[in-house]
Structure 1
Amino acid sequence: MLTTGGCPKNALSIKDALEALEGRWKLLILFTLSSGPKRFKQISKEVIGITDKTLSKELKSLEGNRLIKREVYDTFPPTVEYTITAHGKSLEKVMEELHYWGLAHRREIMGN
């Protein structure tokens, strides 16, 4: 089997997906934005445990991967709002499956 950068050639798409979603926060941020547009502080309150610095970094990464859109409104002070893009929404089934897998995994680990 051919490899590219240590990854089997037919697994490159999985590698690309994992790189776009790497870390513990990106899917949680996307899940939060799936209910509608939010400002920075709203996201910060809903994604419990994330620091402002990390949230800022993760939002930039998600925007760079075209999973979210950042919109600045001409107000004083400026209003910034984040929304999930159509490309980001295409992950909804993945997030739903991860949700169900997480529930089953929690039951398996805790014996409930």
Structure 2
Amino acid sequence: MGVEIELHAGRPVLNWDRSRPTLIRGSYEHGDALAAVLLGVDVQRQGSLGLVDPYGNTMFNEQQAHASLRDVPGLLQQCSGPAQTAAVLDLEGLLRSCSETPGSYLWFVGD
């Protein structure tokens, strides 16, 4: 199980081949560690990142990405090692990039 994240310039088509033209960058190396952190998120306390489905696809627009940035410090406190910390820091960078790019989306691709 793992979660990959892709930043797209516009809403991607949920089809791997057809979504390539909108891809800005992706995060593919932290999948298992990120999934483990996201499974531990308390939706009541940590907001929208708790809505990311580690087993399916979840899409955030730039406003949702911006709102999710406030949840990152709590996620960092939950990390159980360097792999999870690296995953959350990568997530933070993608959330920030999405929130600063008008019309962009983050696509969380679950396993």
TM over 0.5: no
- Provide the TM-score with structure 1 as the length reference: 0.29
TM-score, normalized by length of structure 2? 0.29
Choose between structure 1 and 2 for higher RCO, CA contacts under 8 A separated by at least 6 residues. Answer: 2
| Structure with bigger gyration radius | 1
